[in-house]
Structure 1
């Protein structure tokens, strides 16, 4: 079984749309309203053409497991990820974070700090970052995770 990240491509627009509108993903998001396809399509095209955004699909044995996006700001990058509901509870959240760190070290050496903003009630994502040794900072309405990777 081969697990890897691949770059997102234009054919992944509908897949990401379905994932982002998953009930659990919406609950874990800071914007909980369902997303309209035309808005998603515009967002997706903008992100696909941005130099500051990288989106990857986690694959195992050619199955799409989840997505991870990084928003680059100078030497830091903000992580956002989700796992397909069929694969939740199997450790893929921990794995996707671990793999993106390796990819960044290899392909984006200018990035030295990774961050994530997680809702207070999203205990599963919190555990994924903690198991990957991110520092935890409790804020008013969210948890900030940070890790130096250089």
Structure 2
């Protein structure tokens, strides 16, 4: 089972915990040897998902949107990014130099092209900018991929 992740960044602690528990509960039904998680390793939902994939005994595949992607991440998430990247079974770096909305959407498309389904940590609201979670959800739906949405009830960003 190849599962891609897309989700919000800058989550509150209680939402992070909810997302972590929901993803780990979802993985319980899967055979670890057959679990492949696909992520860009952004802070927030992506890193929570990637850690859960590794902890479940699955394989982590990473799509790096751009050569300068790591430098564009919040400084406090870079050590986790480095650790998760070092534990990846496969790393694909796209040809973009700069970390932009376009490179992020290209990376999301590359993830979805390799995936059987998408987990979206999404509040259901429209995208705040090109390449955001809502855009990735809509692309997955257009591609006919099943989408599992994780978001706590009655919580707004």
TM norm structure 1: 0.34
Q: Which has the higher contact order (CA 8 A, sep 6+)?
A: 2
More strand by share: 1
TM-score between both structures, scaled by the size of structure 2: 0.33
